[in-house]
Structure 1
Amino acid sequence: MELASTAFVNGGDIPGRYTCEGPDLAPPLFWTDLPEATRSLALIVDDPDAPDPAHPQRTWVHWVLYDIPPSAEGLPESASPLPEGARDGLNDWNRTGYGGPCPPIGRHRYFFKLYALDQMLSDQHEPKKAALEKAMQGHVLAQAELVGTYQKQKGQR
């Protein structure tokens, strides 16, 4: 299984358009080679470098999305419209949807993690990352990862 974006390459810079310094849109994503038994997909985007990559204290969750149908080949820019049936969880701003990179200091890494699951997770209601990961236990068929980096422009907040 592979996860990629037309906006940035694995290990590359995330363009400002997908951050708090731009319109803060979700980047376009696409995936290939799902396992045949896939019944749904889940996506978690997080930053393990918060708040300072030199002294990380926590992982900040930017996006939780689940029950993505395996017939979807990806997500368009801004993730709008979401594939039919896809559901949002809560990020660490305590809201649904994508929240782009906005690091307070230094260059952070952003992990886009896609999971192929052998079931739907419909019994969840706006789960946070930990609850979704718990619900996924024992149901992950495959995982793909895409990493982007971002550092705020100097002199801007």
Structure 2
Amino acid sequence: MKLNAPELGDENELKEKHGYMGENVNPALQIEDVPEKANALALVFEDPDAQEMAGKTWLHWLVWNIPADTGRIESDESPGIEGTTDFKKTGYNGPNPPDGEHEVVFKLYALNEELDLQEEATLDEFEEAIGGKVVVKTELKAVYPYDHIVRD
């Protein structure tokens, strides 16, 4: 399974519009080669570089029960059921790290069945729910450049 974001270019660099203080919209994502055994997809967007400042990997977006035949997630589109991010709300919430450039990661899971989770579920609840259901997982790493960070 493959996940890419053509609009990010060869450097996989998130644009200012993808930032929390920009337009706060997700980049369009292209999904290819989903296994036939997959019945649903799930997506996690995190910032592991937040560990030093926040004391944990920061969750920016959590979505599950995306149809397995989804070939593209458009910008500013909610493709499934959304969970609660570390911003304490649902939906895409882009990066705005206070300490410089961060590498972020989109994790795409192919699942053998849809998840029985309520909207606004947490990452912990999601991780428990996917136990034994992951057919395959892939990642797309990107960078949110320092010059995109908006200060008050």
Q: 2:144 aligns with which of 119, 140, 150?
A: 150
- CA deviations 1:78-120 (Å, max 9, x no partner) are 11xx34xx20111001111000010001211111000000010
Any conservation in 1 of the 2:14–2:145 contact (CA below 8 Å)?
no
Matched, 1:127 2:121: yes
- CA deviations 1:24-79 (Å, max 9, x no partner) are 11110010001101111000000011164xx7721000000000011211210111
Any conservation in 1 of the 2:42–2:109 contact (CA below 8 Å)?
yes
State the match for 1:77 in structure 2. 75
C-alpha separation between the residues in 2 aligned to 1:58 and 1:49?
Answer: 9
Moved over 3 A (4+): none
Q: CA deviation at 1:155?
A: 8.6
- The within-5 A match list for 1:18-97 is 18-50=18-50, 52=52, 57-79=55-77, 82-83=78-79, 86-97=80-91
TM-score, normalised by the number of residues in structure 1: 0.87
Any conservation in 2 of the 1:2–1:31 contact (CA below 8 Å)?
yes
State the match for 1:104 in structure 2. 98
Q: CA deviation at 1:156?
A: 4.2
Any stretches of 5+ residues in structure 2 without a counterpart?
none
C-alpha separation between the residues in 1 aligned to 2:75 and 2:107?
Answer: 17
Any stretches of 5+ residues in structure 1 without a counterpart?
none
Percent sequence identity is 33
CA RMSD, aligned part only? 2.0
Any conservation in 2 of the 1:38–1:117 contact (CA below 8 Å)?
yes
Q: Counting helix residues as a fraction of each chain, which structure ranks higher?
A: 2
Q: Residues 5 and 131 of structure 1: is their aligned pair in 2 closer, same or farther, counting only changes over 3 Å? A: same
Q: Residues 10 and 3 of structure 1: is their aligned pair in 2 closer, same or farther, counting only changes over 3 Å? A: farther
